A and B are shown apart, each in its own frame.
Chain A
Amino acid sequence: MVATAISCAVQGLSGVPVTVEADVANGLPSFTIVGLTDRAIQEARERVRAAVRNAGFDFPARRVTVNLAPAEVPKEGSGFDLAIAVALLRTGRELPLDDVACIGELALDGGVRGVIGVLPMARRLAASGIRRLIVPVENAAEAALVEGTEVIGVESLAVAVAYLEGRLDLAPTAAPPMGELIAPGGVDLAAIRGQSLAKRALEIAAAGRHNLLMLGPPGAGKTMLARALAGLLPDLGADEALEVASLYSLRGRLSDRPATSLRPPFRAPHHSVSRAGLIGGGAGLAQPGEVSLAHGGVLFLDEVCEFPRAHLEALRQPLEERRVGVTRVRGTVTFPADFVLVAAANPCPCGRLGQREAPGCRCAEDAVLRYQARLSGPMRDRIDMVADVPRLGGEALFGSGAEEPTAAVRERVAGARARQAERAASTGVAANALLGAEQLVAVSRLDVRALDALTTAGERWRLSARAYHRVLRVSRTIADLAGEERVTRQALLEAFQLRGQSE
């Protein structure tokens, strides 16, 4: 006697619908699960056996074989428990609803516990035409975000079986409305006094998705500024928001950020983060790292020179390809990782290099050079702007003059984004930060006076080709913010101010 149930295996953000087959045959009582399973699924035997019995059903005292098909796809985690139990019970009784996928972990008493990754599973199943799901109650809301999918939240195996038998009518969970929520820890620009250069850099970064490096001593307000950047970014689109929520679901971090939020995420991993934590990986399910949790938003690396060099090297792929491949024993999965990078660093290990008042910098010369060298290489190439964030004295901090609020700046950012979107139709490049060398020439359309400034600057500062491109990208965004068709001399001059001191 063979019966089946449907579940889903996740691989990265995607996955494969899994058919759980259960066979009950004559022979010595045994319970075997096959189909490229991990340890959590092998342990499912004990959970399923106890849950079935404690939910009031009989566990067949015969030779039970469960196969998770397709057998060549690796499967991980405890989310298959419910489907295994349903397939098993179906060998002995009529459960007429068979186009329903079951996801959930079983408790020994027959309860159903929440699992991670339900949202990406629901999206994957919907793509294969499976639009009815039984999921743990606590995961029902996230699964319901998938449009057109009917989600039944259950708290126990008994309820799930009653529903499948048609004895119990459960109302599908209503999709929570997507809507604007204040990003946790959001900072309004108006709350930051002074630092007008850094604020302008944030505006440009938000408008053109440029990566930014802030240099300044500890306590100058770099973290506040980075947080404010997340507030300047426009809302995510519905699809993008769902993708972001899927990533958080996979990582089991929906408590950090509501799945319905349209605000771009802000992530600020500490420099003690592991490589897997930053880039993605881990021993169990391939989990997205901080770079993917920042997808669509801002990744802030404070004290960037303190991060291990290997971590920074590993950022090269997400910075260039806007996604990250996580290679594990059983193959490679890919997560989206399209973020604006904000890095912050002290100018030297003690932070006081170049400071005029006592106490001056006391770092050894070699230490300063080594410290700054950490920032070179692939990271530096992808950072378009450098802004100094000095520690301000009283006169600047308490001077009069209202600071511009986030809402006003965000409006200009939205305008600049719209102009980029218009251009994207012809260039195929969504944001100025992604413009390549050939496209830059086409979209810059420098006027004569701008060209003159560019030539003079190139001679005076001996700009490298990379530096030219960075300046051109940034000036294109500045011109977009000003609503200019061509890159003007003013835009170029302002971009020069943000080019950073050295190559």
Chain B
Amino acid sequence: MTGHRLAAGAGCWPPGLADLDQLGGSCGVRSIWLEGELPPLPGVALVGSRQATFAGLEAARRIGADLGRRGVTVVSGFALGVDAAAHRGCLAAGGQTVAVLGCGLAVDYPRSHRGLRTEVSLRGALVSEYTAWDGPRAWHFPHRNRIIAALSRAVVVVEAGEKSGALSTARWAADLGREVLAVPGSILGQANRGSNRLLRDGARPYLDVSDLADVFPECAVPGASDRRRRPERPGGEAANPPLEAGDHAARLLALVSAEPVPRELIGRALGLGASGLAVLLGELELEGHVRSLPGGLVARPRW
């Protein structure tokens, strides 16, 4: 265990954490355990559901990358789903990120994030207020959310159901006077109930990274790399057509948007059999133009 302890008031004590003391009660943080090196703070917190939809995960990854590319630190909770996608997106774009855990630093949780844990500790920091071997107790998570909010200047709720823990992060953020934003989502289904309700209650909608320009001026200018990564319009595909697959490929790309489409329907629309469609999708997937998703769905990668 390489973590070290940081006491309140120490030289490198993150400034935002002091704000928690003003809330009174047991909100203050007396010390934190730290693995890695704290990147510049405050940052932007990206939080959301653990059982996110594909759209939610893509959004988290993309926002994480947009921030990472601008040198804005992404703070999140290291949970499955949106949290992990945010960390990953940020790291993939070369950014720095802080993961606030709900358990001690020595506890391998969630287990499937072993690889991510190493990456975060190398390019940012893992933070916990619990001692090394404290397990992931249910009550830790809502409590650690106050640290996520405190370490950030703005909280973006990417996708949250009605009872998502991300909503508690948003509440802490509001109490601390941080900016609260939410990514608007579909009104069908449960996945976006919580985040949409935040919008109704006065949170600002997050449409693209410039919505954070108030708090982070570096977000005002669209980055050079963003323009290239804009979602392609079906018609605007001619710029980069896959040469070999020809006509069918162009029609397929026009059919598939970032919203996943069942492959069965694509086959019907193109008049292709299972075999022909598989070859075509294989070719496009190989070139990175489309992505197969569980459940027989096909989507355009957003980046």
Contact = CB atoms under 8 A, between A and B. Distances in A.
A96 interface: no
B189 A197 contact: no
B110 A396 contact: no
Interface string A472-499: 0000001000000000001011101110
A358 B190 CA distance: 7
B294 A353 contact: yes
Given A490-B279, A493-B279, A365 B274 contact: no
Contacts of A453: 282, 286
Q: Contact residue range for chain A?
A: 35 or more
B53 interface: yes
A494 B112 CA distance: 30
Given A369-B112, A396-B264, A494 B278 contact: yes
Interface stretch (B92-100, B215-223, B265-273): B265-273
Contact of B295 (A358, A388, A393, A396): A388
Contact of B262 (A215, A366, A396, A478): A396
Contact of A399 (B188, B268, B279, B285): B268
A278 B211 CA distance: 60
B267 A196 contact: yes
A194 B264 CA distance: 7
A284 interface: no
Contacts of B51: 360-363, 365
B274 A199 contact: yes
A203 to B, nearest CB: 9
B: contact size bracket: 35 or more
A194 B268 CA distance: 9
Contact of B110 (A215, A365, A496, A498): A365
Interface in A358-411: 358-363, 365-366, 369, 388-390, 392-393, 395-396, 399, 401
Nearest to A497: B278
B92 to A, nearest CB: 15
A167 interface: no
Contacts of A390: 262, 264, 295-297
Contacts of A490: 279
Given A200-B275, A353-B294, A501-B292, A496 B190 contact: no
Nearest to B260: A356
A347 B191 contact: no
B194 to A, nearest CB: 13
Contacts of A498: 278
Given A460-B288, A493-B278, A497-B278, A197 B283 contact: no
A199 B296 CA distance: 13
B278 A197 contact: yes
A395 B282 contact: no
Interface of A: 194-197, 199-200, 215-216, 347, 353-363, 365-366, 369, 388-390, 392-393, 395-396, 399, 401, 453, 456-457, 460, 478, 490, 492-494, 496-498, 501
Given A356-B53, A498-B278, 7 more contacts: A215-B295, A354-B295, A360-B53, A390-B262, A390-B297, A395-B265, A496-B282
Closest 6 CB pairs of A and B: A493-B282, A200-B274, A196-B274, A388-B296, A358-B189, A390-B296
12 contacts: A196-B267, A199-B274, A355-B295, A358-B189, A360-B53, A360-B190, A362-B51, A395-B265, A396-B262, A493-B282, A497-B292, A501-B292
Interface of B: 50-51, 53-54, 79-81, 110-112, 188-191, 260, 262-265, 267-268, 273-275, 277-279, 281-283, 285-286, 288, 292-297
